[in-house]
Amino acid sequence: MTYQEQLLDKKWKSKRNAVVVDSRWKCFNCENQKIIQRSARGQIKRIRLKGSEETQIHATPYLLKFEILITLEDLTEHNILLNTHGTLSQENYSNYKLYYEIVDKDGKMRIVINAINEVWRDGFIKWKHVRGLHVHHKYYQEKLLPWEYPLNALTTLCWICHKELHENQKIIRLDENGNEKGMLTRCFRCHGTGYFPQYDHVEGGICFRCNGARYEELIVKPSS
């Protein structure tokens, strides 16, 4: 089973969802501030659930699809389809804050919702949706599948902090008994993820440089 196949496994999706919910949808490092800093502010005009919640949960566990009418900073209105693990109210969203950016995808400009939060009267912020919130493994242990790691070995990071960590730090390597046996260097092309989700239409998005191995030391060299 490749690393990408492991990340698509229901066991990992369930474990990942538990970790994200426990984090209250916040990056452990920046508390989502780096996402806000790179985003523009929009306004939500309407939220509709696409289909029934019961049908959606049965079809795609932990993931719901909403149609959201938003107003951008230039006052134009757009209908956006949002797949999210969060729960959005279709009626009580007046206190929701929306953060978006416009990205170039395959030569077309696309509006992407980066985050939605709800600000309560006492100033408490409840995150309703965060795009690209990753679950990071703090170390690599031989013969352990992603969902077999204990919860204290996992943490949530926004995609910005995760990329920065992968670029600047090595990761501890443990043998199957949990004994430290050195450090691993992340593949410099995929930064230790093993694949690129934006290219999942091309051989599952696998990183062609490391072939999904993620770390320089685990790359299988072609036999001569």
Q: Which two tokens stand for residue 180?
A: 């430290």
Q: Which residue has the higher pLDDT, 180 or 224?
A: 180
**96-152 pLDDT, tens per residue?**
999 999 988 778 899 999 999 998 888 889 999 998 888 888 999 999 999 999 999
Mean pLDDT in the chain? 85
Contact in structure between 191 and 216 (CB atoms under 8 Å): no
Sequence ranges of the domains in the chain: 3-29+133-218, 33-130
What is the DSSP pairing of strand 171-174 with strand 40-49? Answer: unpaired
Phi, psi (5° rounding) for residue 188?
-75, -15
Res 55 pLDDT > 60: no
* pTM of the predicted structure, to 2 decimals: 0.79
**Sorting pLDDT into bands at 50, 70 and 90, what band is 224?**
low
pLDDT for the residue numbered 59: 42
